[in-house]
Structure 1
Amino acid sequence: MAEARTPELSAERRPKSSPSGFPPDHVIQTRVDNPGDEESCDVCKELFDPILEDRHGATSPGRAPDRPQPRQPAGRRPPGPNYVLSSRVRTGRSIRASACPRTAAAAFRSSSSPWKPRRAWTAAWPRYYALKSRTEAEQQQLIDDHFLFYKPLSPLLLASGMARDWPDARGIWRNDNKTFLVWINEEDHPRVISIQIGGNVKEVFTRFCNGLPQIETLFKSKNYKFMWNPHLGYVLTCPSNLGTGLRAGVHIKLPHLGKHEKFPEVLKRLRLQKQGTGGVDTAAVGGIFDVSNADCLGFSEVELVQMVVDGVKLLIQMEQRLEQGQAIDDLVPAQK
């Protein structure tokens, strides 16, 4: 931001503001401080675009809101249950012209399930859990399923108002077999997640492509629209998720490669990123990393998922080499 915001640019932009009245000095605060103001991306694009280009390597839109969801599944799943522990594909959405997160929670409370169960008599109905009114048993079940999200503790998130009125209007919706869930107001208004044990990313992505349009239909039925523009695609809370908003990833065990000096460079060349399994700013435990696509902007959903599938295969190959005491220099890829 300091490099992009030159004195000349500041002087030119200072008199301007978005249609809803936000001046540039307010726009550059953490986006959550100004919920619903997607026009700021256009008003200050001379400032934002160089930063997004540096972060994503591109500035091009994601899927148009009325274009069909991608149906082409990614390639064959990564090998080795000893390496890939779980797989997920997720994205988020922001509700247009809404500064009140209760709208997202209301959409799910009013409909216990966008999908009817296969049998009306089944006891395993899809459910919406309101964090404000969950029972101790429900909370423990969400913890056991690794579905529960917690009140933000990061100073950045707290300063931006992410924990305002916590836990009001926060909740979790899940399907009957716990492979498709929606976080309500964790960071984005809805965050849609397809997840399962093992490395079958193709199956996870197919479920994601089938489920996301139904979530979008639910919100459209309540007359809610999502933030999207032709320049940046979907506008999410964090600029790192602009574009498609899609993040495909795996929890993968790489005890040898994770300690190798070339690991960060390999990830960079594959356009992947790593973090601990506990989320942002957490360290890997037991050599287990959360590896996902680094960019959401400039690629299609299918391209991003395939990038993760191909990259994970290479990481496993490198780990197997290192297990045998062999070098990996010849496997280091060119920059994607």
Structure 2
Amino acid sequence: VQDHFLFDKPVSPLLTCAGMARDWPDARGIWHNNDKTFLIWINEEDHTRVISMEKGGNMKRVFERFCRGLKEVERLIKERGWEFMWNERLGYVLTCPSNLGTGLRAGVHVKLPRLSKDPRFPKILENLRLQKRGTGGVDTAAVADVYDISNLDRMGRSEVELVQIVIDGVNFLVDCEKKLERGQEIKVPPPLPQFGR
């Protein structure tokens, strides 16, 4: 669970009230490649969650693996006469309304001991259209000042744009962290528009 390969029984009131823990653990499962860099969770929160991940900072490789894997999953699903739930206006329809649209959450674990204590940190994240979670994901605390930083938006932009926002934003956060380490001033960036184009 800590390595994000397995998922745990839902305990969040938002999920349990919606019946997400009903019949736990029946009809749940995980498929992964040998390297555990590509995973498919079945019936965790949504029917299917496709995950591409690895240690290091090669977001390009992670995203390319995600795209190849998702294409293959979609091909296999369509081959059987099924499809992901899609709405012309809302995009992919998922359990959590915050994931409507692309459904894509691109996350990076990054250590920010100084910036995370700076009162400007929430505004910086907001202006970069990023969100922070604890090291273990939603509703968890940061361990050793390591945060899971990801795109705030799922709608209004393409998957490529969302990944680029995370790459650019995390680079900005790391630059701020280094400046604070050297005792230099940091600035809150101007806000990105909420919806692209």
Which TM-score applies when normalising by structure 2?
0.94
Residue 144 of structure 1 deviates from its aligned partner by: 7.1
Amino acid at match of 2:169: G
Out of 186, 190, 193, which is 1:334 matched to?
190
C-alpha root-mean-square deviation of aligned residues, in Å? 1.1
Amino acid at match of 2:129: R
Q: Distance in 2 between matches of 1:322 and 1:218?
A: 49
Q: Distance in 2 between matches of 1:146 and 1:283?
A: 15
SS at match of 1:298: coil
SS at match of 1:231: coil
The question of whether the paired residues in 1 share the 8 Å contact of 2:100 and 2:155 is answered with yes
Alignment pair present for 1:185 and 2:33:
no
SS at match of 1:273: strand
Residue 145 of structure 1 deviates from its aligned partner by: 4.5
Q: Distance in 2 between matches of 1:333 and 1:219?
A: 42
Alignment pair present for 1:254 and 2:105:
no
CA 1:307–1:226 in structure 2 vs 1: closer, same or farther (change >3 Å)? same
Residue 146 of structure 1 deviates from its aligned partner by: 3.4
Q: Which runs of 5+ in 1 are unaligned?
A: 1-142
Alignment pair present for 1:307 and 2:165:
yes
Q: Distance in 2 between matches of 1:153 and 1:257?
A: 30
Report the equivalent of 2:136.
278
Number of residues of Structure 1 aligned to a counterpart in Structure 2: 192
Report the equivalent of 1:224.
82
Larger RCO, structures 1/2 (Cα 8 Å, 6+ apart): 1
Residue 230 of structure 1 deviates from its aligned partner by: 1.2
Identity %: 66
Residue 224 of structure 1 deviates from its aligned partner by: 1.4
Alignment pair present for 1:165 and 2:44:
no
Out of 191, 194, 201, which is 2:59 matched to?
201
- Structure-to-structure mapping, 1:96-111, within 5 angstroms: none
Q: Deviations over 1:202-261 (max 9, x none)?
A: 110111111101011111222212111211111111110001101111000000001000
Moved over 4 A (4+): none
Q: Which runs of 5+ in 2 are unaligned?
A: 193-197
Q: Deviations over 1:39-91 (max 9, x none)?
A: xxxxxxxxxxxxxxxxxxxxxxxxxxxxxxxxxxxxxxxxxxxxxxxxxxxxx
Report the equivalent of 1:40.
none
Q: Deviations over 1:145-174 (max 9, x none)?
A: 531111111122111100111100100000
Q: Deviations over 1:6-34 (max 9, x none)?
A: xxxxxxxxxxxxxxxxxxxxxxxxxxxxx
Amino acid at match of 1:150: D
Amino acid at match of 2:8: Y
- Structure-to-structure mapping, 1:1-336, within 5 angstroms: 143=1, 145-329=3-187, 332-336=188-192
